[in-house]
Amino acid sequence: MNFNVERKTTVDVLEQLTAEHGGLRAHLERIQSAAEAQDAAALSARLEAARTALTDDLDDHIALEEAEAFNPLVQILGDGLVEPFYEEHVEIRVLRDEVYTLLARGETPYEPSLHLCELILAHQQREDLMLFPSAREALIS
> Model confidence over 22-70: pLDDT tens digits?
999 999 999 999 999 999 999 999 999 999 999 999 999 999 999 989 9
- The confidence band for 75, taking pLDDT boundaries of 50, 70 and 90, is confident
pTM (2 d.p.): 0.90
Percent residues over pLDDT 70 in the chain: 95
- Quote the DSSP letter at residue 106: T
> Model confidence over 1-21: pLDDT tens digits?
343 334 478 889 999 999 999
Domain 10-140 class, CATH top level: mainly alpha
Burial string for 93-119 (b: 16+ CB within 10 Å, else e) reads eebbeebbebbeeeebbbebbbbbbeb
pLDDT for 141 beyond 80: no
The pLDDT, as a whole number, for residue 1 is 38
Domain residue spans in the chain?
10-140
Pick the closest to residue 89 from 127, 128, 33, 50 (CA basis).
127
